[in-house]
Amino acid sequence: MHGPAVKAFVDIDAVDKVRNAVKALQADGVEFDVCANTLAALNVALDEMLPGMVLAPNGGVVRIAELESQGYLYSAMKR
């Protein structure tokens, strides 16, 4: 994840609905990668995010490109 959406996954601010959905998806094997650039811009450390988040050190957009090159598809979530 990258950009403003990252704020929804900061542990202290996350609502139970988000926290529970993340736990369920992680239990199913979903990995949540967080853009290092966004964290720096928001002045948030990885350990302030919900448990189990993984740092994308080269940035979220780079991570998306890496995953697409492995056959994954990018889909923006809608509310």
Domain ranges of the chain: 3-69
DSSP 54: E
Question: pTM of whole model > 0.75?
Answer: yes
pLDDT on residue 78: 61
Correct CATH for 3-69 of 3.40.50.1860, 3.40.50.300, 3.30.2310.20, 3.40.1260.10: 3.40.1260.10
Q: Give me the half-sphere count of Cα atoms (radius 13 Å) on the Cβ side of residue 6.
A: 26
| Encoded amino acid at 79, one letter | R
64 contact partners, CB below 8 Å, separation of at least 6:
74
Q: Would you mind telling me the total number of residues written for the chain in this entry? A: 79
Mean pLDDT of 54-74: 92
